[in-house]
Structure 1
Amino acid sequence: MEAVYTQGIWMAESLQQRTISQEKMWLIVTHIGDPKAAFLLVFPFTYFISKRAGVAVLWVAAISEWLNLVFKWMLFGERPFWWIGESGLFVNKQPNVHQFSSTCETGPGSPSGHAMVTAAVWWVVVSSLGSSLYLRTHSVVLSAAPYLLYVVMLVAVGISRIFILAHFPHQVIAGSITGFILGMVLSRRVPEGRPLLFFFSFSIGLLLGTLMLHAGLQQLGIDLSWSITLAKKWCSRAEWVRLDSAPFSSLTRDCGALLGLGLAQYWKPGGYSLPWAPRALSLAISSMGLYHVNRLPLPVRPQGLFYGLFFVKFVIVPQIVMVLVPGLCVAPMRNSHSRPHDSSLP
């Protein structure tokens, strides 16, 4: 693997030197490809266009990110920003590369979570959009356009991850292929309308099962915190190593979102269908709400409290999008405008 890693470093160096003027663009792209964006950006946007597609996005995002965590624990992939120093191969000739605020993620590197979750989630979006376009226009060209954009997005996210030294090229390719397969498989098995007990059992089962896997691997002498140690050692700035990029943050986000999805479908008010204008208003209000929820500061010590609150934060996300905003804010406003005026009033 040394030859593969070495070639990946020189590729990252060349990419940085050739496209350094597009640094801001690559940082924006890597944020769009962040698994967190699937929950906070793609989910509400998709939900207010198609409810089933929105539920599918949340479901696929949670399962694909959880699987990515398991794969990373099994594959032990290095990350470029720490491998440069750990390998000892660049003593005489150091690569001219730079780290960025999004570089220093603490989980193992293979496969790329950004590429894998982006490929899985956006497959749900483009396949739904492509099918809708074909039904409306019967044009193969128009219905193929979303799939072209899908490929462009995957390539852009992959390049951004290589650019910031977060992943090697083969990790990005592996993540994209795996995510594409997961998107096709999981989008056909969306648990829409399932009872709350299903989501509660599934969420807690994933959480406990992953914790048992972690404990079992540790009993076998496998140190799963090795990547966190290396990230702290080789990151250029200590503040770039964030707890919300740790493997257990991904786990609690996924389990929280799944439980939240079950609660939202259980509590969701029924009996109304919002037209486009209230949907657009719901999307705007939901987006503002999720922005502020995401910015809520969480205590990093003790870590158990942080993970518990992180879990609760993502339980709240589906409640805001599916219940609170359309059910308690927008629908009453719409109903008040649709009531006939009382002719007895002067």
Structure 2
Amino acid sequence: MLDTIVDKFRLYEVLAMSSFQSHLSLLEPIFIFASNLGDPQNGYVLYFVFGFIFVSHSAAFKMLWTAVLSEWLNLILKWTFNDERPYWWAPMAAQHLAATNHSHYFQDVTTDYEYARQLNRLRLKQFPITCETGPGFPSGHVMCSAAVWFSLIIQLIKHKVIASRRQRLFTRIAFISTLMLVSLGRIYISAHFPDQCLIGLFAGIVLAVMVEKLVDIQRLALGGHILISMLLMAIAYAFHECLNRFGGQSGADWSLELAKLYCADINNVKADTSPLYVVWRASGAAVGIGVAFTQVLPLVNKNNYLSVARNKNNFTVRLINTIVSTVAVVIYVNYSRPEPTFGDQIGRFYGKSFVQFLFIPIVGLVSVLLNDKIMRFYFNRVHINSNN
């Protein structure tokens, strides 16, 4: 260990992260909030309702598919690079350095005491959300957030929701600033190295551009969604099996074993951070997108959809619908969440998660349409009463 350029680079990253944690501890609540904000599942839960109401149903469709593909591609990249996470790499490096004399890695270290002090800097803080079980490169939180948020920006510009140069500049500044904050959050909680977050940011933007060019709501019927869902799962499981067969002694689950070994609290190692959980979650959402947009949406008279938008209370009505519908999705997700568990019950957990995320797009879309009908009825009554 520490014989490669990458490991030496990781050592300096950990030292920087240790200083970052010690000097900015007052901002800890902000960093934890930012890390939670970047949770990949928020791509299914928090944003597509806004895109559906304020932009178009095709915008929401592309945002959801961006969430699915970014999660899946991030997993494949993680399995491909099999990179470390700081919270287990740092103590492994400290153990190695303690057993050998590598004081030349540190500047101005001339005594054993100074060497011990430097080794102590390799102890990183851990939090309940630190101990994710997959490999670390690239950051899923940053990559998936960058992909979904950039997809939303593309749709806002494309549909001229933001048209002026000043609006576009402000949107881009907000996009970069928020992603940087998410990245700092992931670094602060010791879940990722800085370079993993940086690459995740660029990968997410590239994926969003590709989805915009390649994914079309008119081309995918329900059968196509189901087929893609099955392909995503089949490819992921084939990749997983190849890692187990040809990946040497480590296999596909090496990162899970290290998470269990080096997490400060074993109870924080949860099945809903495992790579295969991501596969089932994304595959379920893919089917749900198909049901929502090819079966549920056509049942609604599109010409009358959100007809109250032509009312002078346009923005207020849409905002209310967005808030109510998003809250409905959040409530559904929280109350339908299966208990994460390893062992013999993990297959059942994966299956329940598939069903849970299958219904997220459906619940969101149905909530939007029901709220629209309720508000349309209300405004019609108000209009009739005012005329009388």
- The TM-score, its normalising length taken from structure 2, stands at 0.82
Q: Which residue of 153, 156, 160 corresponds with 2:181?
A: 156
Q: Which residue of 82, 89, 95 corresponds with 1:83?
A: 89
Structure 1 position 241, deviation (Å): 1.2
* Higher radius of gyration, 1 or 2: 2
Task: Determine the C-alpha separation between the residues in 2 that align with 1:221 and 1:168.
Answer: 23
Amino acid at match of 2:233: L
> Are 1:130 and 1:145, in contact at CA under 8 Å, matched by a contact in 2?
no
Task: Determine the C-alpha separation between the residues in 1 that align with 2:25 and 2:51.
Answer: 33
> Are 1:129 and 1:146, in contact at CA under 8 Å, matched by a contact in 2?
no
Structure 1 position 307, deviation (Å): 0.3
Amino acid at match of 2:14: I
Q: Which residue of 331, 338, 363 corresponds with 1:298?
A: 338
1:62 matched to 2:62: no
Amino acid at match of 2:380: S
> Are 1:84 and 1:90, in contact at CA under 8 Å, matched by a contact in 2?
no
> Are 2:82 and 2:137, in contact at CA under 8 Å, matched by a contact in 1?
yes
Which range is displaced more, 272-281 or 239-248? 272-281
Residue of structure 1 equivalent to 2:296: 267
Residue of structure 1 equivalent to 2:260: 232
Describe the SS at the equivalent of 2:15.
helix
Structure 1 position 336, deviation (Å): 6.4
1:208 matched to 2:198: no
Task: Determine the C-alpha separation between the residues in 2 that align with 1:262 and 1:245.
Answer: 25
Task: Determine the C-alpha separation between the residues in 1 that align with 2:24 and 2:48.
Answer: 31
Q: How does 1:65-144 map to 2 (within 5 A)?
A: 65-87=71-93, 88-91=95-98, 92=116, 93-95=119-121, 96-131=123-158, 136=163, 139-144=164-169
Amino acid at match of 1:257: A
Task: Determine the C-alpha separation between the residues in 1 that align with 2:239 and 2:187.
Answer: 30
Cα deviation per residue 1:282-339 (whole Å; 9 max; x = unaligned)?
32332222222222342425100000000111001000111x2133454155246536
Task: Determine the C-alpha separation between the residues in 1 that align with 2:21 and 2:64.
Answer: 34
Amino acid at match of 1:267: V
Amino acid at match of 1:70: I
Which range is displaced more, 65-74 or 142-151? 142-151
Residue of structure 1 equivalent to 2:36: 31
Task: Determine the C-alpha separation between the residues in 1 that align with 2:379 and 2:156.
Answer: 32
Describe the SS at the equivalent of 2:120.
coil
Task: Determine the C-alpha separation between the residues in 1 that align with 2:136 and 2:142.
Answer: 11
Task: Determine the C-alpha separation between the residues in 2 that align with 1:60 and 1:122.
Answer: 9
Cα deviation per residue 1:244-274 (whole Å; 9 max; x = unaligned)?
1111111111111111000001222321221
> Are 1:133 and 1:142, in contact at CA under 8 Å, matched by a contact in 2?
no
Structure 1 position 134, deviation (Å): 8.1
Amino acid at match of 2:194: P
Which range is displaced more, 182-191 or 226-235? 182-191
Amino acid at match of 2:135: P
Cα deviation per residue 1:5-46 (whole Å; 9 max; x = unaligned)?
101101111111121101000011011111111111122222
Residue of structure 1 equivalent to 2:111: none
Task: Determine the C-alpha separation between the residues in 2 that align with 1:62 and 1:310.
Answer: 14
- The TM-score, its normalising length taken from structure 1, stands at 0.91
> Are 1:130 and 1:146, in contact at CA under 8 Å, matched by a contact in 2?
no
Cα separation, partners in 2 of 1:22 and 1:213, compared to 1, 3 Å: same
Which range is displaced more, 217-226 or 306-315? 217-226
Residue of structure 1 equivalent to 2:380: 338
> Are 1:199 and 1:259, in contact at CA under 8 Å, matched by a contact in 2?
yes
RMSD: 2.1
Q: Which residue of 243, 267, 274 corresponds with 1:246?
A: 274
Which range is displaced more, 250-259 or 118-127? 118-127
> Are 1:134 and 1:140, in contact at CA under 8 Å, matched by a contact in 2?
no
Task: Determine the C-alpha separation between the residues in 1 that align with 2:170 and 2:236.
Answer: 39
